[in-house]
Amino acid sequence: MTLSHRLKPLRVRLLLLLAVVGPGIITANVDNDAGGITTYSVAGAHYGYSLLWMMPLVALALIIVQEMSARLGVVTGKGLADLIRERLGVRLTALIIGILLFANLANTVSEFAGVAASMEIFGVTKYLSVPIAAVVVWLLIVKANYKWVERVFLAASAIFLAYIISGVLARPPWGEVAKAFVTPSFQFEPGYVAIFVTIIGTTIAPWMQFYQQSSIVDKGLKITEYAYERVDVVVGSLFAVIVASFIMIACAATLHANGVRIESAKDAALALGPFAGRYASSLFAFGLLNASVFSAAILPLSTAYVVCEAFGWEAGVNHGWRDAPIFFTVYTALIILGAGVILLPIQSLVKTMMASQTLNGMLLPIILIVMLRLINEKRLMGRWVNGRAFNILAWIIVAVLILLTMILILVTLFPGFLGG
Amino acid sequence: MPYLSEMVGRPVTDANGERIGRLEDLIAARRDVAPPQIVALAIKRGSDLLLIPYEEAAALLAPAIPLLRPLQDIRPYEPNENDLYLARDILDKQIIDTDGVRVVRVNDLELARVNGHFFVVNVDIGGLGLMRRLGLARPTEKVAGRLGRKLASNSIPWDAVELLPGNHPMRLKVPSDKISELHPADLAALLSDLSRADSSRLLDSLDMETLADTLEEVEPDFQASLVEDMSDERVADLLEEMAPDEAADLLAELGEDRSEDLLNLMEKDEAADVRRLLTYPENSVGGIMTTEYVAVRPDLTALQAMAFLRKVGAEAETINYVYVTGRNDELIGVFSLQDLVLAHPRTPVEQIMHERIVTLSPLDSQDDAAHAVAKYNLLAVPVVDEDGRIQGIVTADDALDKIIPTAWKKRLPRMYR
C-alpha cells in the first residue's frame, strides 16, 4: 500500500528545506536596510575606496558577535532578552530594553525614511508612500502569515545581488580596489570618523543579536546541528559585508570618481543615472524600497517580542489585542511613530538615520559585554563557553567599539572636536 | 508582607555584629502539598557561598540580618534535592500559572511568617512587582493615586504555580499533579506559549495517555514539531494511543520515510487502520474518519450487545451509535445507546435498529460531513464504500472542526506567530 497520496514526496521536502533559509542569512539580509544602504553609499561617494580596508575587519567582528548569539540560542534554548532577564535581573533588563526600544524606534524611523526616499525617486510623495507602507506593514504582520511574507521579502532580497552587479558594471579599477582592501588608512576628520563609526554601527546593530537568537530558538536548533548553524551565520555575515562593500565600490567608481557629493541613498540612486544608466537608478531605488519595507516589518515586530519576552507579557500576533495589549501597543506605536516622524515637515532624513546608528553604536558595547558575561557562565553554557583566544578577540572588539563610540559621541556633541 | 527582592542583598552580621557578607539567596524546601518553607540562607562572602541554616538567623526582616552564633560555630546547611534557590531558580523565571493556564514571568516572591517560620505564599507577576524591583514602587503608586486609581497587585498563590522543568534541574522527572490534572485542551494552549525546549520537557513528563489526548488538541503541523525530537519508539506508542484518524494526520506531516519507520514499529492492527486512512485526501471524509466504531451482527440480542459494548466500548471513539453489519461488513442498520438500554434484553438488535441510514462516502468532502451532522442532528455519521461496506465513522466534532477550528491552531514560530 502506498502512502504517497498524502505524504509530501522527499523531493518536495528537500525543496522546502532549501526554502527555509537559516536565521543567520535572514538576519544578514535585514542588516542591509535603509540606514545601511545610505551609509555605504555615502561612504563610497565621499571617500572612494579608502574605507574598504575596514570591511574585512567588520566582517570578522560581525561573525564573532553573531556566532556568540547563535551559540547562546542553541545551547540555552532561550532568547537574549530572556537570558538577560533571568541572569542579570530587572534593573539591567529595564536599562537595556529601554535603550533598545529607543534605538529600534530610531531604526524604524530610518526604514520609513528609506521608503519615502525610494518612492520619491519614482515620483511618489512621502505623504502617500509612508502612510501606505505603514498600513501595509501593520496588516501584513497582523493579518497575514508571517512565514509567507518573509519568503516574499527574501526572494526580493535577491535584488541585493543587483548591487554586486552594479558594482561590477561600474568598471572599477580592480587593482586599486584590491589594494584598498588591504591598505589601512585613517583620517582625523569629523565626517570620516562619523562615517567610520556609522558603518560599524549599522553593520553590527544590537537588534540583530536579539533577532537572530530568537529565530534560532524558534527553529529549535539542537547542539548537534550547531555546526550547520555556524555555517549559516558565517555565510550570512560574509554576504552582508560583501553586499555592503559592493555598494561602496559602485558608488566610489561612479560618484566619487566624478566628484559627485551625495547626502543620502536617494541622491545616490539619482546620481547613478548619468553614469550607470536609468535602470541602475531604478534598481537601486527598488532595492532600497524592498530593504526598507522588509526591515520596517521586522524591526517593530522583533522589538515588541523582545519587550514582552523580557517582562513576561503575553506576546504574539495570534493572541489579539485584548490578550496581548502591550505587545500590540509596542508594535503599533513603533510603526505609527516611525512613520509619523517622517511626515513631520521639519527634519532631515539623513540626520534621523545617522541618529539611529549612533544609538545603535552606544548600545552595542553594553550588549556585547552582557553577551560575553552570559556566554562565559559555566552553569549556563557548560562546555560551550568561549575559548581563551575567542574571549581575547571578543574583548578587543568591545574595547575598539567603546573607543569608537566615545569618539563618535564627542564628534556629535562637539563638532569642532577634531578641528574640522 | 515581606518580598524576596527586598531581602536579597541585605548585609548579614554574625553574633558580634561583625559583617560577614550579604544575603545572596534564600533556600526553601519544596514540599508536596504545603508551600515551600525557608530552610537556609545563602550568603555571599567574598567569592564563597555560605549556606547557613535558617535557625541560625536571629531575624530575617532586619535591615542587617544578624546570626545567633559566631560563624565558626555554625554547622553549614546540607543541600539536598528538594532545595529551591528562590532567587536563582524562580525569580525572573517563567512559571506556569495553573489556574489561569498561562505562562508568566515571576517579578517577585511574597513570603509569610507563620509560627516563626517563613513560607513562600504568593508569586507576584504584576507591574507593581516590576516597579518595586526597579525601586519605583512608591512613585508609581503616587502617580496612580493622583490619577485616582488604585494599583491592584497581581499575584497568584503558590499552589497554582508550577515550575518549568528546565529551571529546577535537580528535581526528578515526575509529572506534577497540577499539570496532569489540566484539561488536555489547556495543556495544548500552554504548549503553544512555551519555548521549544520547555515544551518538549513538559511533554516528556506526561504519561502516554495524557500526551495523546493533549496532542489531539493541536493541529497536525504543530504536533509534528512537538514530536520531532521524540524517539521513534515513543512516537509509535503515542500513535497507537491516538485515534487512528489523528494518528494518520500526524503521520502525514512527518514525511514518508519516518512515517514508514513508525508504522512498522506500531502494532499490526493499528498500523493497518492508519495506513488505510492515509490513502484518503486530507480534507475528505476518509481523511477525518476514524475506524474505532462499534459494529455488531443483527442476530445478537440486546443483552449480548450490551455485554459486547462493555468489552470493546472503551476503545471506541463513541458508543452513542452501534452499527449493525452483515456478513461482508455491509452496513444494514444502526441503533443508539438509548435504543439499546430501553429494549428488552432478549430482543434481537435487528428489531431495534433503524434501517434508513445517513451515510457518507470516503471521498465526500469535510463540508458534506458537517452538513450531514448539522442537518440530521447526528453525533456521528457512518462512512461506507461503493458496495455499502462500512469503512469508519466521522464524529460530529471532527466534522465541525473545519467550520469551527480548534482554538490552538498551531504554534507558528515565535517571531512569526
Residue the block writes with cell 508550577: B162
pLDDT of residue A60: 94
Highest mean pLDDT: which range of A51-60, A406-415, B59-68, B227-236? A51-60
With CA atoms as reference, the chain B residue closest to A8 would be B255
Cα of first residue to Cα of last residue in chain A, in angstroms, is 80
With CA atoms as reference, the chain B residue closest to A89 would be B92
Distance from C-alpha of A234 to C-alpha of A257, rounded to nearest angstrom: 33
Reported confidence tier of residue A138, pLDDT bands at 50, 70, 90? confident
> Which whole number is the average pLDDT over B233-262?
86
Least confident of A57-61, B36-40, B228-232, B308-312: B228-232
Instruction: Measure A8 CA to nearest chain B CA, in Å.
Output: 6
Cβ neighbours of A211 in B, within 8 Å: 415
pLDDT of residue B176: 64
Instruction: Measure B208 CA to nearest chain A CA, in Å.
Output: 23
User: Is pLDDT at A221 greater than 80 in this prediction?
Assistant: no
Give how far Cα B151 sits from Cα of A312, A327, B143, B158, B214, Å: 18, 21, 10, 21, 37
With CA atoms as reference, the chain A residue closest to B134 would be A91
Instruction: Measure A233 CA to nearest chain B CA, in Å.
Output: 18
Least confident of A105-109, A161-165, A229-233, B119-123: A161-165
| CB contact burial A213-237 (16+ within 10 A = b; e otherwise) | bbbbbbbbbeeeebeebbebbbebb
What is the pTM (predicted TM-score) of this model? 0.78
User: Which of A3, A208, A319, A328 to mutate to probe the B interface, most B CBs <10 Å?
Assistant: A3
pLDDT of residue B172: 44
Q: Could you give phi then psi for residue B41, rounded to 5 degrees?
A: -110, 135
When comparing pLDDT for B318 and A166, which is higher? B318
pLDDT tens readout for residues B191-247: 877 877 788 888 888 888 888 888 888 877 778 878 877 888 889 999 988 888 888
With CA atoms as reference, the chain B residue closest to A84 would be B92
- Listed in sequence order, the residues at least 6 apart from A24 whose beta carbon sits closer than 8 Å to its beta carbon are A66, A70, A212, A229, A232, A233, A234, A235, A236, A237
pLDDT of residue A351: 67
With CA atoms as reference, the chain B residue closest to A93 would be B134
Q: Do B120 and B31 contact (CB within 8 A), yes or no?
A: no
User: Is pLDDT at B406 greater than 70 in this prediction?
Assistant: no
Cβ neighbours of B130 in A, within 8 Å: 90, 311
How many other C-beta atoms can be found within 10 angstroms of the C-beta atom of residue A173?
A: 13
Record: contact B278-A3, CB cut-off 8 A: yes
DSSP-derived secondary structure letter, B315: G
Record: contact B280-A5, CB cut-off 8 A: yes
Domains along chain A with CATH numbers: 23-376+387-413 (1.20.1740.10)
List the single residue in B106, B196, B259 with the smallest CB-CB distance to A7. Answer: B259
Joined grid coordinates for residue A243: 553586499
Distance from C-alpha of A29 to C-alpha of A153, rounded to nearest angstrom: 10
DSSP-derived secondary structure letter, B300: -
With CA atoms as reference, the chain B residue closest to A302 would be B415
> Which whole number is the average pLDDT over A53-67?
94
Q: Do B39 and B77 contact (CB within 8 A), yes or no?
A: yes
User: Is pLDDT at A6 greater than 50 in this prediction?
Assistant: no
- Listed in sequence order, the residues at least 6 apart from B365 whose beta carbon sits closer than 8 Å to its beta carbon are B283, B284, B285
Phi/psi region, residue B255 (left: phi>0; alpha: psi -120 to 50; beta: rest), is: left
Task: Provide the 3-class DSSP secondary structure of residue B290.
Answer: strand
User: Is pLDDT at A199 greater than 60 in this prediction?
Assistant: yes
Reported confidence tier of residue A5, pLDDT bands at 50, 70, 90? very low
pLDDT tens readout for residues A242-253: 989 988 998 888
Cβ neighbours of B415 in A, within 8 Å: 146, 211, 214-215, 218, 301-302, 305
Q: Do A374 and A380 contact (CB within 8 A), yes or no?
A: yes
Distance of CA B376 to the CA centre of its chain: 35
- Chains A, B: CB pairs < 8 Å: 112
Record: contact A318-B228, CB cut-off 8 A: no
> Which whole number is the average pLDDT over B272-278?
85
User: Is pLDDT at A9 greater than 60 in this prediction?
Assistant: no
Record: contact B92-A85, CB cut-off 8 A: yes
Number of helices (H) and strands (E) in chain A: give both, helices first: 19, 0
Interfacial residues of B (vs A; Cβ cutoff 8 Å): 92-94, 102, 104-107, 125, 130, 133-134, 166, 195-198, 225, 228-229, 248, 251-252, 255-257, 259-260, 275-276, 278-282, 287, 409, 412-417
Reported confidence tier of residue A365, pLDDT bands at 50, 70, 90? confident
- Listed in sequence order, the residues at least 6 apart from A26 whose beta carbon sits closer than 8 Å to its beta carbon are A150, A154, A215, A236
Reported confidence tier of residue B412, pLDDT bands at 50, 70, 90? very low
Q: Do A180 and A52 contact (CB within 8 A), yes or no?
A: yes
User: Is pLDDT at B381 greater than 90 in this prediction?
Assistant: yes
Task: Provide the 3-class DSSP secondary structure of residue B395.
Answer: strand
Reported confidence tier of residue B410, pLDDT bands at 50, 70, 90? very low
List the single residue in B281, B412, B414 with the smallest CB-CB distance to A6. Answer: B281
Cβ neighbours of A221 in B, within 8 Å: none
Residue the block writes with cell 575606496: A49
B196 closest CA partner among A216, A146, A148, A223: A216
User: Is pLDDT at B150 greater than 70 in this prediction?
Assistant: no
- What percentage of chain B carries pLDDT values higher than 90? 25
Instruction: Measure B248 CA to nearest chain A CA, in Å.
Output: 9
A77 at interface of B, judged by CB pairs closer than 8 A: yes
Instruction: Count how many Cα atoms sit within 13 Å of the Cα of residue B343 in the half-sphere of its side chain.
Output: 22
When comparing pLDDT for B256 and A389, which is higher? A389
User: Which of A83, A90, A208 to mutate to probe the B interface, most B CBs <10 Å?
Assistant: A90
User: Which of B203, B262, B417 to mutate to probe the A interface, most A CBs <10 Å?
Assistant: B417
Reported confidence tier of residue B255, pLDDT bands at 50, 70, 90? confident
A382 at interface of B, judged by CB pairs closer than 8 A: no
Distance from C-alpha of B362 to C-alpha of A416, rounded to nearest angstrom: 81
pLDDT of residue A134: 93
pLDDT of residue A13: 46
With CA atoms as reference, the chain A residue closest to B276 would be A1
pLDDT tens readout for residues B311-340: 988 888 888 999 999 988 899 999 999 999
pLDDT of residue A160: 72
Domains along chain B with CATH numbers: 4-157 (2.30.30.240), 173-279 (1.25.60.10), 295-400 (3.10.580.10)
Cβ neighbours of B133 in A, within 8 Å: 89-91
> Which whole number is the average pLDDT over A298-315?
86
Joined grid coordinates for residue A256: 566619487
- How would you classify the pairing of strands B11-13 and B65-66? parallel
Record: contact B107-A13, CB cut-off 8 A: no
Q: Do A411 and A181 contact (CB within 8 A), yes or no?
A: no
pLDDT of residue A16: 40
Record: contact A220-B197, CB cut-off 8 A: yes
A143 at interface of B, judged by CB pairs closer than 8 A: no
List the single residue in B105, B198, B252 with the smallest CB-CB distance to A7. Answer: B252
pLDDT of residue B295: 92
Cβ neighbours of B259 in A, within 8 Å: 3, 7
Q: Do B56 and B68 contact (CB within 8 A), yes or no?
A: yes
B379 closest CA partner among B300, B293, B299, B277: B293
Beta bridge partners of B322: B335
Phi/psi region, residue B284 (left: phi>0; alpha: psi -120 to 50; beta: rest), is: beta
List the single residue in B107, B260, B416 with the smallest CB-CB distance to A146. Answer: B416
DSSP-derived secondary structure letter, A262: -
Distance from C-alpha of A399 to C-alpha of A330, rounded to nearest angstrom: 33
pLDDT of residue B346: 92
Q: Do B131 and B152 contact (CB within 8 A), yes or no?
A: no
Record: contact A6-B134, CB cut-off 8 A: no
List the single residue in A13, A219, A222 with the smallest CB-CB distance to B413. Answer: A219
Distance from C-alpha of A403 to C-alpha of A45, rounded to nearest angstrom: 26
pLDDT of residue B279: 83
A302 at interface of B, judged by CB pairs closer than 8 A: yes
Record: contact B417-A316, CB cut-off 8 A: yes
Reported confidence tier of residue A131, pLDDT bands at 50, 70, 90? very high
List the single residue in A4, A94, A145 with the smallest CB-CB distance to B256. Answer: A4
> Which whole number is the average pLDDT over B81-107?
87
pLDDT of residue A420: 42
A277 at interface of B, judged by CB pairs closer than 8 A: no
